[in-house]
């Protein structure tokens, strides 16, 4: 296959085909998908993440070693898939920074930092991550955390144009890789936990002018937006909502990850986020299906016109975003070849839909599922288990929970084996209806009672599996089990290999059997998916390594800074050891200025504003072990006035006052006194 690539290059030169030349990634190149390149997030438009390269295979993989590596300045989540075109590797790190490397030597060619304001970190539900770039005709496109879509010159990294795709005053974020389709750059947004009103936009790749926009929830006033979504909203979507708190936030349904273009049906498929607030009783008085939240929506790429939708979780009550990887393939179903869209949904069901009509082909449990007994193939609706909607005030503990049976981590497909490899997880979650609810603009507004995350709620242990799923037989052919629930995305190759990372180990599995054939200790966890490419007759495998984003890495300690590892056969490089972390002594509570605050009020503030990010296994420091709680002056400077804005800690004076800050500090000191002293490695944060 590497040889084929060389012939392709010779052909390009001989024919003088412009699209083969430098800086000419276009539709033909993405469709034809030269074996040695990785031109869009899922490699090609169908997003199968399957590479035809086979130099690294079952026989040779034991010789795989590091060829080159690059270190980054941050120890926060690394989620990007590296893209490779014309010998250049493009990747992103936290805070939406872009890097270009010589893909053969690892020499850094340029870097671009969009200088996202630090306080924007508070608007990112799930860390300040970024999943990568799009390439189109000499430009590199990145969606910045603060809602900008930025076009860079692929050769220099200089800004060509930049547009604000969101209202910067609202808690919108972008973490997804943009997609380049038919001269347009497609970009969605995140923020359904706050919530915001989700939409997908298409911008002209050359000029940055907005071509069309499709809103995923109706305008709460019922008025048209002058957008591509207006007709669908008027015809049927608006009727699926009712009065409730969604009108204050916009209903969520943010398309924050999957956007897949199918060349054959000329449709784009978009996955939408949870309905917001999560609790449907608060959101719409428990009424309606709430379109297009938790749905897969098909649109025409030229106009944004609605074609079909399939709602995976009608009237979502559980944060069951449907944004996970949407993969297109031809499958032999019922004796003929069918073009399908596949998704391993957060809600625990693996969906196969007809790509042209959106009709449900099958929906089967790929992990333990107890919120629903199955999906009715006639209606396409889940058959819910009694009590799943926690409307009676009790705590509903179930699997999957809000982290899902599968999250954003990309899957991969092996067409020869007919298998989809799912990085699956079993993580229980709990939900309860609150006694009262008031909407707080700009803050998390889930509409859950505090009992749902309290210490009294006991959940079964979390675990993870890499599942080789046969979408035709509708069952797993093999599984590999892991202690780590939250792991990396997946890469599949014609070498018969499946690459996947768990904890510190990067592993190559036999695609047919699930046998682990090669293991490499990266010295740090990985959650991103690997990509692969070839240059000068050599195949490379690239993986971003780094701490775990929303799911954390099970309290991995000490945390390591981000690193890009690039492997090839007989690679002999030994990456330098990670820097020794700065170790913090146990908290000296005797030196604390006593707090005079109210513990009950402090606990409520912690639950509302702090605990989601600052917790064991989470991605920000555990506050009950942080010296900042010892001193009221320094504490208020950070919490109320934003002394740590550059690191993502927004000022909270808009949410509470001096007395509340002292209530919070009192609660944190009381909790710290209950916990044993712990020596901790300091976070580096990094910008």
**Active centre residues (catalytic):** 319
Minimum distance between the CB of residue 193 and Ca ion, rounded to whole angstroms? 6
Segment 436 to 495, residues that bind Ca ion, using CB under 5 A: none
Asked if residue 123 binds Ca ion (CB under 5 A), the reply is: no
The count of residues interacting with Ca ion (CB under 5 A) is 5
Which one of the spans 270-278, 309-317, 346-354, 630-638 is the region binding Ca ion (CB under 5 A)?
Answer: 270-278
Minimum distance between the CB of residue 237 and Ca ion, rounded to whole angstroms? 19
Minimum distance between the CB of residue 406 and Ca ion, rounded to whole angstroms? 13
CA-only gyration radius of the chain, Å? 24
Nearer to Ca ion, 192 or 629 (CB): 192
Tokens of 334: 């019922």
Which one of the spans 164-172, 265-273, 564-572, 637-645 is the region binding Ca ion (CB under 5 A)?
Answer: 265-273
Three-class SS of residue 236? helix
Of the residues 274, 343, 539, 624, which one makes contact with Ca ion according to CB under 5 A: 274
Nearer to Ca ion, 217 or 532 (CB): 217
* Structure-token match 């083969």, residue found: 20
Quick one: which of 537, 494, 525 has its CA closest to 507?
525
Minimum distance between the CB of residue 191 and Ca ion, rounded to whole angstroms? 9
Instruction: List Cβ neighbours of 510 (8 Å cut-off, separation of 6 or more).
Output: 58, 496, 497, 498, 516, 517
Asked if residue 321 binds Ca ion (CB under 5 A), the reply is: yes
Which one of the spans 68-76, 314-322, 441-449, 524-532 is the region binding Ca ion (CB under 5 A)?
Answer: 314-322
Instruction: List Cβ neighbours of 67 (8 Å cut-off, separation of 6 or more).
Output: 106, 540, 566, 567, 568, 571, 573
Quick one: which of 569, 478, 561 has its CA closest to 518?
569
Full strand arrangement of the beta sheet holding 563-569 = 64-71, 563-569, 538-545, 531-535
Quick one: which of 268, 154, 281, 141 has its CA closest to 200?
268
Which one of the spans 9-17, 181-189, 315-323, 465-473 is the region binding Ca ion (CB under 5 A)?
Answer: 315-323
CA distance 276 to 436: 16
Three-class SS of residue 627? helix
Nearer to Ca ion, 318 or 499 (CB): 318
| CB-facing half-sphere around the CA of 591: CA atoms within 13 A | 9
Minimum distance between the CB of residue 101 and Ca ion, rounded to whole angstroms? 33
Task: Using CB positions, name the residue nearest to Ca ion.
Answer: 274
Asked if residue 317 binds Ca ion (CB under 5 A), the reply is: no
Minimum distance between the CB of residue 218 and Ca ion, rounded to whole angstroms? 19
SS3 content of the chain, % helix, strand, coil (to 5): 15, 30, 55
Which one of the spans 45-53, 142-150, 189-197, 452-460 is the region binding Ca ion (CB under 5 A)?
Answer: 189-197
**Binding pattern for the stretch 524-563 against Ca ion, x by CB under 5 A and - elsewhere:** ----------------------------------------
Of the residues 86, 211, 257, 319, which one makes contact with Ca ion according to CB under 5 A: 319
Nearer to Ca ion, 253 or 544 (CB): 253
CA distance 531 to 135: 15
Three-class SS of residue 679? coil
Nearer to Ca ion, 371 or 469 (CB): 371
Nearer to Ca ion, 114 or 188 (CB): 188
Tokens of 291: 């379109």
Count other Cβ atoms within 10 Å, centred on residue 296. Answer: 26
Nearer to Ca ion, 140 or 527 (CB): 527
Can you give the binding site for Ca ion, defined by CB under 5 A? Answer: 192, 273-274, 319, 321
């Amino acid at each position: 296959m590497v040889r084929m690539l060389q012939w392709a290059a010779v052909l390009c030169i001989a024919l003088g085909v412009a699209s083969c030349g430098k800086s000419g990634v276009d539709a033909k190149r993405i469709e034809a998908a030269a074996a040695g390149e990785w031109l869009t997030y899922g490699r090609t438009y169908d997003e199968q993440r399957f590479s035809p390269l086979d130099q690294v295979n079952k026989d040779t993989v034991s010789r795989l070693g590091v060829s080159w590596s690059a270190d980054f300045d941050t120890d926060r989540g690394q989620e990007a898939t590296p893209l490779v075109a014309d010998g250049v590797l493009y990747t992103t790190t936290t805070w939406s920074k872009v890097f270009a490397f010589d893909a053969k030597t690892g020499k850094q060619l340029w870097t671009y930092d969009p200088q996202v304001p630090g306080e924007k970190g508070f608007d990112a539900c799930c860390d300040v991550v970024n999943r990568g770039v799009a390439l189109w005709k000499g430009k590199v496109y990145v969606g910045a955390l603060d809602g900008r879509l930025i076009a860079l010159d692929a050769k220099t990294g200089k800004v060509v144009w930049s547009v604000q795709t969101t209202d910067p005053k609202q808690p919108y974020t972008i973490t997804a890789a943009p997609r380049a389709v038919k001269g347009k750059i497609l970009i969605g947004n995140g923020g359904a936990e706050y919530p915001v009103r989700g939409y997908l936009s298409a911008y002209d790749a050359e000029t940055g002018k907005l071509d069309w926009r499709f809103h995923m929830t109706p305008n709460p006033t019922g008025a048209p937006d002058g957008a591509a979504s207006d007709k669908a909203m008027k015809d049927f979507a608006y009727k699926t909502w009712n009065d409730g708190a969604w009108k204050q936030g916009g209903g969520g349904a943010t398309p924050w990850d999957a956007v897949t273009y199918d060349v054959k049906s000329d449709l784009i498929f978009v996955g939408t986020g949870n309905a917001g607030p999560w609790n449907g009783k608060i959101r719409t008085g428990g009424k309606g299906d709430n379109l297009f939240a938790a749905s897969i929506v098909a649109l025409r790429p030229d106009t944004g016109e609605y074609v079909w939708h399939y709602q995976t979780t009608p009237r979502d009550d559980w944060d069951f975003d449907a944004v996970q990887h949407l993969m297109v393939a031809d499958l032999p179903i019922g004796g003929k070849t069918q073009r399908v869209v596949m998704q391993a949904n957060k809600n625990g069901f693996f969906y196969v839909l007809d790509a042209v009509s959106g009709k449900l082909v099958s929906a089967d449990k790929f992990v333990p599922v107890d919120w629903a007994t199955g999906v009715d193939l006639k209606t396409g609706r889940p058959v819910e288990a009694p009590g799943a909607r926690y409307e009676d005030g009790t705590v509903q503990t179930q699997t999957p929970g809000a982290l899902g049976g599968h999250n954003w981590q990309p899957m991969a497909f092996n067409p020869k084996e007919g298998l989809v490899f799912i990085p699956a997880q079993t993580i229980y979650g709990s939900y309860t209806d609150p006694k009262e609810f008031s909407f707080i603009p700009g803050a998390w507004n889930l509409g859950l009672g505090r009992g749902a995350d309290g210490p009294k709620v006991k959940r079964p242990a979390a675990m993870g599996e890499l599942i080789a799923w046969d979408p035709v037989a509708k069952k797993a052919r093999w599984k590999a089990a892991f202690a780590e629930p939250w792991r990396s995305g997946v890469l599949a190759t014609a070498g018969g290999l499946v690459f996947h990372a768990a904890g510190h180990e990067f592993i190559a599995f036999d695609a047919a059997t699930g046998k682990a054939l090669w293991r490499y200790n990266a010295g740090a966890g990985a959650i991103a998916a690997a990509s692969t490419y070839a240059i000068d007759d050599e195949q490379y495998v690239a993986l971003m390594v780094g701490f775990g984003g929303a799911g954390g890495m099970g309290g991995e300690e000490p945390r390591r800074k981000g690193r890009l590892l690039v492997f090839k056969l007989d690679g002999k490089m030994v990456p330098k050891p990670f820097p020794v972390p700065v170790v913090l002594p146990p908290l000296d509570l005797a030196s604390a200025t006593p707090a005079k605050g109210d513990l009950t009020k402090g606990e409520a503030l912690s639950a509302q504003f702090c605990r989601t990010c600052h917790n064991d296994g989470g991605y920000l420091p555990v506050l009950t072990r942080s010296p900042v709680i010892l001193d009221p002056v320094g504490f208020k400077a950070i919490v109320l006035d934003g002394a740590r804005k550059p690191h993502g800690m927004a000022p909270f004076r808009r949410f509470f006052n001096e007395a509340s800050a002292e209530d919070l500090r009192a609660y944190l000191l009381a909790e710290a006194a209950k916990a044993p002293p712990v020596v901790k490695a300091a976070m580096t944060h990094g910008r």
